[in-house]
Structure formats: structure tokens, C-alpha cells
Structure 1
């Protein structure tokens, strides 16, 4: 076992972990007087994704509190239509105006007190958009106010007052984000992040979503001038020759390696001018023979100078990631009492269930982090890293092991339960860093588990850190991908061949999917439309990667099959030939031997989790001590509640919570379609509101004319939508009122007047 070793060398902190020496530079403190005022204002309004640039997900408002939260009523609803946000949105509110995505991904300004439209910007294209939110900027004299958002890999700027394009920004109102990455722009299917960027002074700072496949583009971090759209700085997350970390990759890897991107939240210490990026895994996620080495800056919490993009410090939480252990949850900036002193820290939650805490200025861990030996990969060509970092003080917030006695007891079919127990027993499982294998390996809490986007929130008045998490074990099984094999036959038959070779691993033999993460494709063309399916295959749709090797004819055939699967006709012999693995090449590296695996989500045929509940939890930590205060199941599953089965946790939440000065935790869960309100000190549920749609994303808490509101987005399940109207059990052929959109809640006027 190797412990983290720190020393001062040449005026710099130097960290030695498992043979890697990480240089951590000291950074001079810089104070911006206006920053404190901006941060204070943002904690009582909602001008930025997550509420503030420190990503606290905290509101200083307290009109709605423990004593009256049960009186909350819906005050307005704005419908977003079937083609609105996909995974939840966090609305902005500035001077009584709310900015949201509406039907067909239109950008919409609403009266925040009534939900009535002020203006609508028609995007003319309901495809790729930064659906989790937008970014607001205004000049010092307030004369120039802008809304920035990404669509189809371009960063757009609108006049916040009128909704008109700002033609002077970039090229006639937009900046092509595919440019300047060292790759042919025409080969980049997706680069924009679904999470909005942040504004610091006159800079728009952004990460990216690169896709999960081989040959994905790199996740460079960039800052653009918010007025002109010109690039100001760029940080290579896959280092170029001469840059720090270049020697942790094969020579020339920057030309082909991808990922290492920030696709979730990030935060900014405005007083110091430091931006903190949690970075994701390199691609391909589960096999790294073409990227031998530790792979900086993948899976790092990375601190940069917000004005220049210059490196300050980093800490890598997973070396040579083979598990898709992205850091996604926004880093939370806190000031805690530690060893008798007040220390400014940054707190990071991981997919693996760990909490990491560092000194904000230099990256030194507040509590020890040990490098421990981990299992070795047995996959040809792979060189897994021999050690990984383990926090030693703060207990994990998610389960990190799945044993046979933990199989979900609520799976109805006993034979299915026994089959899952056998899978668990036979899988290789030697801790959270068990490398994927040509056999089956277990990953817990899973590549879609632990802390995800929007998961963290803080209470700066009590130094409490809250995490919304999920336990979602995965079974990984690497195998060589069959080469592209075409056959003769009808479009439906050719489409079935495309499906078998590209879609079956995740969506199943009969298109049943693995809800809630991987949807069923039964009737998907009728429900979603051919254009949306085509876009998802072409550009990817998280967690599904893009499929760059499928041409237009392939996708046309796939759509024909999905529209009429009964018309496909393949003999067992042809099907076996299509799925026959290739003979692996002996060449390693780019263009050489490659292996794939599905994400391996473990669900029952009923769509329930394979592991026992709770499937999602809300955990509170006292960060002065690094102790867990409490942990509760977060939400429930409506179908199980109807059977008298409670406290299972939601399956699965997407998004996170907001903490308020009124003593509340406000969070929505989709599987029971409820807005939950808990006591922030004890975790006791104070109230819950049944919603018509399933809430997702991060709530927005704001005040207009002395009245406090809570707003959040909700969407439909895919099996409840036909075209652009939800089905009605009472009138299945006729349209009914929309339930997907934005809901706003407040205290009744009469109740508020009494306070």
C-alpha cells in the first residue's frame, strides 16, 4: 500500500502517488470586490446554472420554510412539447424574466410570475441543444444583456430583451465549436456540452461532450470573449508535445485520443479567479490499449486560471480509466473548520461513491488519500494502472459491492431472481477497480451510478454537503466488435442486420431496452419520429454514443426495421454470421485491436433494478468533520408504492437538489413524479407534491416582487407519448393537456400575507 506523499520543492507542492509525480503550483490570491456582491445576489436570485458560479445549488431565500412548505401550490405551468428538453433543465430568472427551452427546442422568455411568453426564438431545428440550461451575461452598465446557448455544435448569442440574434457575435451570431480541436471538423459528430457554460467577467467558459467511442475528439477546455465570440484561451486535456502530462500517453496520442472532457458542471472561485473542472474518462471508456499510461488529464479535478487558462493544480481520481468513472458533479466551494483553522476547500463527488476534498488554492487533500494496489487486467494489449487513489476518512455515499444476497427481492419471477444471483456469483468482482475482462466483471455502483450531473449541493451556513446518488451496478464483458457486414434483402431485413451489429447489445434482442437508462425501441418511430431517431444515431444521445461508421443508407434501413420489425426476415444462419466475432488483429493502438462492451445496466424484465433498494439516496455530510450526518432513500417508485412497497428510492433520478435558507432540501424524482421537500438538518420529509409529469434537472428558487417561487422541469416517459401529444387512458385517440414542461410553485397569497 502506498500513501500519498507531499513535500515542498522549488516553491511548489509536489505530490507522489504510485510512481507518478504531480506538480501542484501555488497560485497567488486575487480578489475581485465585485465578485462577493455578485455571489450574494445570485443566492437570492437564479442568474446562473446551479444558482451561482460556485455551483452551490443554494438559495438564501426563506419565505418558504419548514413551517409552511406544506402549503405550496402550483401557480403556473408552461408546456414544452414532446421535443423539448430531454433530461431536465435548470431555468434562469433575471429581473422577473425566466429563460427556458420550449416546444421544438425553442428558446423562450417567460414572465416568471405567470409563465406567460414574452418572446420565442425559433431554433428551426429540434435536434442537438444544450438542454440542461443556458447562460446569461450583461455588461457593467446593463445596456447589453445576452443569453448564450449551444445548438448543433455552435455557440449562439441572443439579445435577452428581444430574443434576436446578436449578429456581431462570432459568425452572424454563432461560433462553430468544432473548429480548433486539431481534427477535421466534418468528422466531429458532437462537441457541445448539454450543460451550459459559465460567465466570468467577459469570458464564456465551457467544457464539451465528445461522445464515448473510439476516435472521439478531445475535450479541450475553452473560453470565448462573450462580446465578440473570439477564442481567448484553450487548454488541451489530452496534452500536446511539450505540455505537462504528454508523457502519460503514448507518443502522438493527442492526434487520435478523445474524451477527457468536462460535460457536467464546473465551478468558479470568483475572488481568486480560479475555475475548477471535473473531467471525464478518455475514450474508448472500457479498453485502453491505444492509450497506455496514466492519461492526464482524464478523471481529474483540474484548477485553471479563469482569465488565462493557465494550469494551477490537478488531482487524478482514476488513473488510466477503464470504468467510465467520469467526474461529473459540480465541484462545491466551501469554507470549513479544519484543525482549528478556517480553510477554503473544493469538494468533489465521484461516480465511484467517494467524496474528495482539497485545499482550494493548492490541491492538497484535506484528509489522506492512499494509493492502493488494484487488480490487473487480463485483456490482450491492456496495461491497467497498478494502483488507484482511495479516500481514507470520509465514508462513501454509495454501495461499492454487489453480492448475491443483495439481489432485489421485489423481482416477481423467482427464476429470474435466481438467474441474476448466478450472474452476480460468477462475475469477477474484486472491488471498484476490477478491470473489464473478456469474461464478465462487476462494476458497483456502476458507470451510471454514484454522483452524476447536478448531484451535489451545499449549505454554507452549516458546512453541510449533500449528494443525490444512485446504485446502478453494471456487468461488463469485452469482446471484439464484428466487422460491418451487409446483406441482401428488404430495407427492413437490412435494417435488422444493422440493429443486430450496433444496437442489440444495449437495447436487447427484442428492442425492449433497459429502462430507465436505455429506453425501449418498441414503437419508437411512431412515438418520437424518424428525424429524432436519425439524429440520435448520427450524433449520439447520452449515454448512447454516435455511430460514425453508419452511412445514410444504413440509418434509413435501421429506421425501416424499427418502423416495421415484423417485415424483417433473417435465417438463424445469417444472423449467426452477422454476429460472429472477427479474428483479432495483432496490431495495437490506433486502427489496431479494439474491444467493446455494452454499459451493462442490470435490470429485471419488469424494468426494476437487479440490486436491492434503496436505488437512490440523499446523503448529508458534516464537512467540518468529514462525517456522514444521515442518509435516506430519495423518492419511491409509483408501481411499487401501489403494492405497499415503500422507501425504495427513485429509479433513477436525473438532476439534483437545492438547499434553502428556509431550512429545506428541494428535489424532484421522476419514478414517482413528485417534488420532495425535506428538512435540511435531519432529512425528515416535510412535504411532497404529486406532479403531472416526471421532474428532472435542478429546481430553480427565485423571488419576484417579494414572493418566493420554486420552479422545475418535468417530462413524459417515452411510452406515454404519441407524436406530440400524450396518450389518455380515457380517450386514447384524442389529444389531452400537455404535462411536459415547467411547473412553478409558491405559497398562497393569503398564507404569505400572514407571515
Structure 2
């Protein structure tokens, strides 16, 4: 196996940067023009193409006729799962995830099934990658499942067993940790294809001592790892001195769990990297922590370091950037300049020269509050872009409380709490969490911009961001010592059902109810054992699904007991093959086998490795301070259009509308459930966007004027797709999630009235 780790040299000198610019210019000149044009008139990859701009150069739908869009066909998923899948279209074939996690090939004109590869349980839920050889004889779909990388023949739907070892590449291998201790590594988001390489991120979890998020590239034909870049530097590598000695042995995260972008012309991949773990307490990682919470540029062919910019130093707020970096050309001070713009959870849009990494406008280091938690050392300053202005709110005030949903008593209680925390200085951006007081962060852990929330018109310098104005109300950090959470693990026999009842009360009851019938947006768990096998249940607990977060810190005894308490047995439910043209089942042999990690000590992680100096105390908090978006006044979600030629916001408008707020007289509120939505920008001046309110909108990309609204049967949590077949233009939207209003109020309280979810495809009326 060829495995290269490039040791980057700092690119500080003017000569080095000049040489880099000349080298990149030569690479651009060598790129075939037809390849560059092709990326904007197809939707063969997640986000539309390698640059993830969600931009299409298709002229069939424009401002004049967009109002004539109507449903052309509908493909039901045939189950009640929430699919966040971005459909791919290759020639006349569409690929979707449906029918109890089956990969389905459809006729893109009619929705008729071509083939079904059934029962891909544990498959990454947001999308897949497509690749074909230069002569077109080898066409394959690549995807992650149960921490393996697999390939399927795009024409037949059958597994390609020559890929990896008998069809499998084990993603737990090669990360510098014992694979048996890694609870999960695969991302829910696909990687990006460049030439014959699949560049892949990961989602190793957010607990103490989780796996490192190193970036890797795999050969799409053989499955061999071609290169690896250590996002947590090893000894002798650039950035190693920004961590404690030996930190690479135990620090996890610093991973691209969501979207990345590739500049095909230059062969550069831009990677938004997440925060180190543990997210909210960093006494075991004192320092600046490169390359945590950074934008990183690598040579896509070799993995060689080119440049980076750290967006948050020593991140203690889980402010990992998740939205795809946008690659646009701007007219800056009379000069054409290629830039990359990345939207952060911080609510800032950061803009850099695409080749050198120099900020297009000054970014100032400003002092921020110090931590009061024992052992913690916050970085004294944080980067604040001077231009363009933020897309999200950064403050919480008593006078900004929501006029809807709150009773007078609740409003008075929140007003008093915010006034108290404001006086203590605990409501500003970059206020570190405390073990003595609550903290309100704006944006919070899922505010700002998230995956799918950026798009661009690459040639016009326009970047569009879905802004989520959601705070996190963080409780006090709790001090724990290793082993304190290892309940009922004395080595003797433990009644699994009684143990499972304790686990349920601690982790599940708040959402699913004491009687397991479900409350808010969480489903009923009655008869759960008829829907999920033990392996399915364990996989969901390990990786999360839809709105449910991962509980990867629970050990096998916890999960086994919880499943037994909920009525399941090891024999569990058996998923029958769906009806239709099933050509295969389960992926490559062995790829369905869920492999739980060895006991890792619960949420607090295992002990530190021998020989490293690390604190004995560990602080953590339950959850991410979520569930409080409703306390803020609207709009809760907006689209913000940036003209980066001038560095200004061209327009801003609320995205979607909350039904319960409308009933109370609210207008243009945005939506409280808009975290997982996406946009499409067209060369004809349109901007399409989903919103979380069961609708898809078309806006004038120049002005933000609403031009068309399409109705969906359910809400959507995936990216829409636009494509053309035989001169006809289509817009495909996944719509499979529960509609919710206000404070987690389901649209359909009676399950018999819930419409069928599926993929809705619009086209112009004849």
C-alpha cells in the first residue's frame, strides 16, 4: 500500500508564494476546458460538482417561466426513515437512497426503478460519489457503510469485489490508533473525487479520546490509500508545537465531517476542519491546536500542505465550520482575483486568496474573555473579519426575546436570566463555558452556517449563505473523573433490562417520554423491536440518525441493555428485501457487520496513554445546549446574499415561515427547523432553496424576490438537485422528515394522517 504523509514547510517567504502561484498557473493552463465546463451542467456529485457551489449552467428555467414549475413525478421511499440524501444524476439515471436503506437507480425522466441494491444498513446518509474511467467502461458508485468504504457498479448495481479486500476498505485502519478502540470514523457526508482519487473526511465522534480526523485519499479503482494528512500533527510536522507534547496520541477530532470543495483547475482541495475533542474543555490540549477549526488547503493529488487559516484558536465552543467553501472569482480593487469563502458557525464569512491563503480584507485578532475553569487556558485573542459583515446575530439581549410561543411567566424568567448573564459578561461571542455559571452563546453549536448552507455563482463573485440565528444555552460544566460513569461494570452479572432502564431514564426519556410513546419531534419507541434489529439499533446509537445525535460514548453493555429494555432481542426484526428489481443485497460480504468498539469508559473516554502528561480531571456537559432556539425573536433562518466584489451584503430575507407563529400574527419569521437545507443557483438568475417548512422556494438571485413556491409532502433535510435530460429541465427535492412548528410541535400528531415521504421532482408544465 502506498501511504505518503507530506511534512509541510511554512510558506512564509515571498519567493515561496511566488513559486506556488507560478506552479498553480501552469496547472490551470493544462486543465482541459471541456472538463471545467462540464462541472456546471450536470449533477454527478454531491453538491453538484467538485467545487460544491450548487451552481448549474442550464438555461431552461428562468425568471419568466419558473412560475410554471409543477410536479413531474414522485418516488416514495416506502418507509418512515428520514433521508438526508442528495440525489445524483448521471446521463438519464438518478441514484437515491430509499426502501429501508437501499440504493435505488431510477429513470431520471419518469422515476421508474432500474435496479435496487437492498439493505445497505449503516450507509452514510447524505450522499455517495460517482466516478467513471476516461473511456467510460468503468462506472462506479463509492460510499461509506459501517466504517468501510465500498464500491458498486453504477450500471448493474452489484458490488465490485475487486475494490479493497473482497470489496471492502476498513476505514478504522491507518489512523495511528488501535482500530478496536475506535467507536466510529465514517462521515455522513461523501468525500470528493479528483481524477482517480476519493478524498475523504470522517466523523469520529466528540467524546474524550475519540479518533483523529486525518484527511485521506483512496484510489477509486483499487481502494488503496494514496496519501494521508495528519490534521493533528505528529512529531516533526508543522503545527506539532501548538499542542502539548504527545497530544497526537490521545486528541481526537480536527476532522472534515461535512463538506469540502475541490478546485479542479488548480488541483487544490479546501477542507473545513472541526474542533478538537473534547469540544468544550481543553485542559489536555493547551495551545493554539493546529489544524483545529481551520480552513486547510492541500494539493489534491499528493496531500501536500499549501496553506491554512485558523478560524478559532483553541476552540471551546464546537465552532467547527461545516458548510462547503465557495470558490468564486471577484473584481477586487480593479483586479480579477480567485478567492475561497468559508462560512462558519461563528456567523462570519471568511474570504481568502485561493492560492496564497491571504485574507482578502483584514482579519483582526481581538481580545476575548478568559476561562475560569481549573486547568483551562483560553487563547487570548480570536479572529474577527473586518469585512464583509456577519450574516448571523452575535448577541443576546433581554429585549430580543421571542414574541411567540412563550408565556408571560416564561418571558419574565428568560428576561431575568439573560439580564443576569449579560451583567456577568456571559452572553458575548467567544465567552468560554464555566463550571460555575450558565453561558449563552449566539450563534450556538448548530447556529451560523451548517452543512448544505452555502452556494455561489462562481463567475459573478456572489456567495449565498443560509443563516441560522439559534443560541445555545449551556449549563455548567460538570467535573468527572475517569471511571465514574462506568455504572454496573463490576465484572459480575448485571440484569440487562434493569440496566437498560437506567440508561433510558438518563439519556432517552427527555425526548421519547417516560412511557416511550414519544414527545416533541422524537418518535414513539413502542414496538421498536419490530422495526429495528439489534445491529440496526446499535448502529443508530453509534452514529445517530436524522435529528437524533450519536451516543457513541455508550458501551456495548449500555446499548444491549437499552435494546432489551425497549423489547428487543438479539434476533430482532429482519428487514425483508423491498419489492422491485432487486439485483443485490447488503453490499460486499462482511460490510453489514456492525463492529462495536471495545469498552471506552463511557462518555468520558478511556484513560490517557502511558507516558503522556495530561490532567486527571475531565469536564463535560450533557448535550450541546440545544432546544432554546425558540427564545429568540425571529427571523430564525435567513438567506444572505454576499457580493464579494465589494464585500457587502446585497440582500437578506427570511427563509420560510413558521405556521404557529403565523397564527399569532407573525410574518417572515424564518423557520426553527431549518438546520439541514440547501440551495441551487442557476446561470439564469434564480436561487432555489428548501426551508424546513415543507416548501421549496425560487428567488430572484439578484434581488431576493420570491418568484415561486413548490409544496412538498413532508419536510426536507437533504440537498436539492437540478438536471437536464433530453432538453427538459428538472428539480429534485428529498422530502422525508417530520414537519414541526414552534417548539417541536409535529405537523401530524395522528400517525395515520402522515403523508408518504419521498423524492419530489418538478419540471415545467408542457
User: TM-score per shorter chain, which class?
Assistant: 0.7 to 0.9
- SS class of match (1:294): coil
Map of 1:506-585 to 2, 5 A cutoff?
519=522, 523=526, 525=528, 529=532, 531=534, 532-541=536-545, 546-547=550-551, 550-561=554-565
User: How far did residue 645 of structure 1 move?
Assistant: 2.6
The answer for the alignment partner of 1:76 in structure 2 is 73
Would you say the 8 A contact 2:715–2:739 is kept in 1?
no
- Comparing 488-497 and 310-319, the one that deviates more: 488-497
Q: Distance in 2 between matches of 1:719 and 1:661?
A: 33
Would you say the 8 A contact 1:153–1:190 is kept in 2?
yes
Q: Distance in 2 between matches of 1:286 and 1:544?
A: 20
Higher relative contact order (CA closer than 8 Å, sequence separation 6+): 2
User: How far did residue 555 of structure 1 move?
Assistant: 2.1
1:425-466 Cα deviation digits (max 9, x unpaired): 333425211001111111111110001101111123432110
Where structure 2 has 5 or more consecutive residues not aligned to the other structure, the ranges are 1-9, 569-603
Closer, same or farther: CA 490–304 of 1 in aligned 2, 3 Å: closer
- The equivalent position to 1:622 in structure 2, one of 643, 654, 662, is 643
The answer for the alignment partner of 2:58 in structure 1 is 61
- The equivalent position to 2:488 in structure 1, one of 486, 489, 494, is 486
The answer for the alignment partner of 1:570 in structure 2 is none
Where structure 1 has 5 or more consecutive residues not aligned to the other structure, the ranges are 1-5, 15-22, 565-580, 721-725, 750-755
The answer for the alignment partner of 2:764 in structure 1 is 747
Q: Distance in 2 between matches of 1:27 and 1:437?
A: 48
User: How far did residue 490 of structure 1 move?
Assistant: 7.2
- The equivalent position to 1:498 in structure 2, one of 495, 503, 510, is 503
Do structure 1's residue 448 and structure 2's residue 453 form an aligned pair?
no
Would you say the 8 A contact 2:694–2:739 is kept in 1?
no
Map of 1:18-417 to 2, 5 A cutoff?
28-29=24-25, 30-31=27-28, 33-82=30-79, 84-86=81-83, 88-122=84-118, 124-126=119-121, 128-417=122-411
User: How far did residue 32 of structure 1 move?
Assistant: 6.0
Would you say the 8 A contact 2:406–2:631 is kept in 1?
no
Would you say the 8 A contact 2:44–2:130 is kept in 1?
yes
Would you say the 8 A contact 2:525–2:566 is kept in 1?
yes
- The equivalent position to 2:656 in structure 1, one of 635, 644, 653, is 635
- The equivalent position to 1:663 in structure 2, one of 685, 693, 706, is 685
Closer, same or farther: CA 13–379 of 1 in aligned 2, 3 Å: farther
Q: Distance in 2 between matches of 1:363 and 1:204?
A: 24
Would you say the 8 A contact 2:11–2:307 is kept in 1?
no
Closer, same or farther: CA 470–514 of 1 in aligned 2, 3 Å: farther
Closer, same or farther: CA 743–219 of 1 in aligned 2, 3 Å: same
User: How far did residue 241 of structure 1 move?
Assistant: 0.6
Would you say the 8 A contact 1:42–1:48 is kept in 2?
no
TM-score (norm 2): 0.85
Q: Distance in 2 between matches of 1:35 and 1:195?
A: 28
- The equivalent position to 1:702 in structure 2, one of 723, 729, 732, is 723
User: How far did residue 272 of structure 1 move?
Assistant: 1.1
Count of equivalent residues: 700
User: How far did residue 257 of structure 1 move?
Assistant: 0.6
Closer, same or farther: CA 492–198 of 1 in aligned 2, 3 Å: same
User: How far did residue 422 of structure 1 move?
Assistant: 2.7
Q: Distance in 2 between matches of 1:272 and 1:111?
A: 35
Closer, same or farther: CA 340–640 of 1 in aligned 2, 3 Å: same
Would you say the 8 A contact 2:80–2:736 is kept in 1?
no
Would you say the 8 A contact 2:207–2:553 is kept in 1?
no
User: How far did residue 492 of structure 1 move?
Assistant: 5.4
Do structure 1's residue 680 and structure 2's residue 684 form an aligned pair?
no
Would you say the 8 A contact 2:396–2:427 is kept in 1?
no
Would you say the 8 A contact 2:444–2:472 is kept in 1?
yes
- SS class of match (1:534): helix
TM-score (norm 1): 0.86
1:671-729 Cα deviation digits (max 9, x unpaired): x2001111111111111112111122221110000000000111132999xxxxx9988
Closer, same or farther: CA 718–273 of 1 in aligned 2, 3 Å: same
Closer, same or farther: CA 544–692 of 1 in aligned 2, 3 Å: closer
Q: Distance in 2 between matches of 1:254 and 1:13?
A: 29
Q: Distance in 2 between matches of 1:592 and 1:369?
A: 37
User: How far did residue 207 of structure 1 move?
Assistant: 0.7
User: How far did residue 42 of structure 1 move?
Assistant: 2.4
Closer, same or farther: CA 254–195 of 1 in aligned 2, 3 Å: same
Q: Distance in 1 between matches of 2:526 and 2:179?
A: 34
1:464-507 Cα deviation digits (max 9, x unpaired): 11001201100122112453333999765533422454457888
Q: Distance in 1 between matches of 2:623 and 2:23?
A: 40
User: How far did residue 27 of structure 1 move?
Assistant: 5.7
Closer, same or farther: CA 549–394 of 1 in aligned 2, 3 Å: closer
Closer, same or farther: CA 52–728 of 1 in aligned 2, 3 Å: closer
- The equivalent position to 1:473 in structure 2, one of 471, 474, 494, is 471
Closer, same or farther: CA 347–376 of 1 in aligned 2, 3 Å: same
- The equivalent position to 1:609 in structure 2, one of 627, 630, 633, is 630
Would you say the 8 A contact 2:677–2:716 is kept in 1?
no
Closer, same or farther: CA 731–666 of 1 in aligned 2, 3 Å: closer
User: How far did residue 407 of structure 1 move?
Assistant: 1.3
Would you say the 8 A contact 2:695–2:711 is kept in 1?
yes
- The equivalent position to 1:423 in structure 2, one of 412, 417, 423, is 417
- SS class of match (2:100): helix
Closer, same or farther: CA 73–28 of 1 in aligned 2, 3 Å: closer
1:714-747 Cα deviation digits (max 9, x unpaired): 1132999xxxxx9988893xxx896222110001
